[in-house]
Amino acid sequence: MEIIADGKRVLRFMILFLCYLWLGILSVVTILYLFLESSTLGWLIAMFYPSIAPMLFILVVGCGFIIIRFSFLSKKREIFLVSIVCTFIFIGMILPYAAIPLGISDAESQMQEVYGELYDNLDTTGMKQVPYSLYDDLYGLSIDGTTYSVQYDIPYLDNGDDTLYFDWYCPVGEGPFPVIITIHGGAWVIGNKGFSNIPLFNHYFASKGYAIFDIQYGLFDPDTLPEDQSTALSSFANLGFDISPNYNRSYTMEAQIENVGEFTKVLELNRSKYKADIDHVFVAGRSAGGHLASLVTLGYKNPLYEGNFSTGMKIEGGIWYYPVTNVTRGSSGLFDALVKGDLPIEDQYTKLFAANLITNSSVVPPIMILHGSKDGLADYETQGLSFYEYALSLGDKCILVTIPWAGHGFDYDFNGFGGQISTYYVERFMALELLED
């Protein structure tokens, strides 16, 4: 009997320890998420936490209840303290969801303003019906896997050192289909096509009749930098957890955009093979991929990029998820090695960042920027909002969908609120642009 009683005590102690630990961890996570989103841990948490926070809160309530029940059932002050901690975590969890209507209403008014009646009368049959649905959050967006096929690892460029590949998502049918080129993120130093580039996005839009090309590009190797300059990029590269391909060469931004340009040429040459309608091309990218997508969008007809891209394709729109748009040469020269090319370094900055490039681009296709307001990596104010305002001041067509309280990479949970709201508006943006054409 004594052994059983001891066993019970040990079990009770362990359960209580786990409950305290969980409440402690979630409290720290909430503090980092709410107040310290610019720290490395802060933006990593803002990337994943908001979309799963409601589920994790069920654990918080359970743990809070167990602690009160087994530790301080008769101690009012302690009960009050545990309740305060749970309430604090609850506030951190509920904020993004409470702000969803604000984000949607802002996006709606922009869509109305840009497209007017065309937006009201758009045939949305087969599209996502509401910007956010808890049902889709729980059970996942419906994707009909029978309406498309996927071919992986198709080579498109062999430069003697490395071979670059792409994945092709092709809808069933004769085609040609409107094209989406998707470019992965990873601070130009890590990342890959495929599983690290939101594959559900590719599957979803392939099922809606778009030919998706998920492409690789060469990565910059921070180990090639002098030790005093490599710290920031190396620490980011170490977050890669071996998800990146092992390239033999280091690729600057200039080389990376050449890789993407090479792909557009291959696509033009093989348009019938890949059932690609190159008169209707959308370029989508995330983070550093969003930056490269911005260069394709603004640069494909720009003399600065002469010979870089296919001359036959027409970009219908740029879809930039939390992109880097505005970097100027700082005193540290952190980006110099990444940015360097044939032009003097100041001109390279002008050529390689959208906020400068848009100024001297005569052809600016419609742009949709999707940015989380708690983005601690590609800052919302300086990289998303300021570019949007600048594009509007130049008279260009630009829509900024703000995902409230969402961090960098908000759509990694494709079914979460960030993934859903962005998918809803991207789907309509592309349909409207195809309709207008």
Partner 1 sequence: MNLDAKRLLDEGHLHRNYALVTFLILVISIISSLLGAMGNVVFQVITSISVVFALVFLFGQLILVIMYVDKETEIGWILHRMAYAVLFLLMLSALLMSLTTYLFAFYVLGEYSLQANALMPSITLTIALSFGMCLSSVSYYSIQLQDIWKFSFAS
**Would you say 22 or 115 has its CB closer to partner 1?**
22
Beta carbon of residue 84, minimum distance to partner 1 (angstroms, whole number): 18
Contact by Cβ (8 Å): 323, 290: yes
Q: CA 7 → CA 1, 65, 69, 343, 366, distances in Å?
A: 10, 22, 19, 73, 67
177-183 and 276-286 strand pairing: parallel
Beta carbon of residue 124, minimum distance to partner 1 (angstroms, whole number): 12
**Would you say 56 or 434 has its CB closer to partner 1?**
56
Q: Say how far residue 432 (Cα) sits from the centre of its chain.
A: 22
Given the rule CB under 8 A, which residues bind partner 1? 48, 51-52, 55-56, 58-59, 61-63, 65-66, 69, 129-130, 133-136, 138-140, 142-143, 145, 194-196, 198-200, 203, 412-416
Phi, psi of 170 (to 5 degrees): -120, 120
Beta carbon of residue 62, minimum distance to partner 1 (angstroms, whole number): 4
CA dihedral 210→425→141→402, nearest 10 degrees, is 130
**Would you say 1 or 73 has its CB closer to partner 1?**
73
Contact by Cβ (8 Å): 219, 251: yes
Beta carbon of residue 192, minimum distance to partner 1 (angstroms, whole number): 11
**Would you say 390 or 412 has its CB closer to partner 1?**
412
398-403 and 367-372 strand pairing: parallel
**Would you say 208 or 265 has its CB closer to partner 1?**
208
Beta carbon of residue 180, minimum distance to partner 1 (angstroms, whole number): 18
Beta carbon of residue 196, minimum distance to partner 1 (angstroms, whole number): 7
**Would you say 198 or 431 has its CB closer to partner 1?**
198
Q: Please choose, from the candidates 346, 375, 432, the residue with its C-alpha nearest in 3D space to the C-alpha of residue 44.
A: 375
Contact by Cβ (8 Å): 112, 418: no
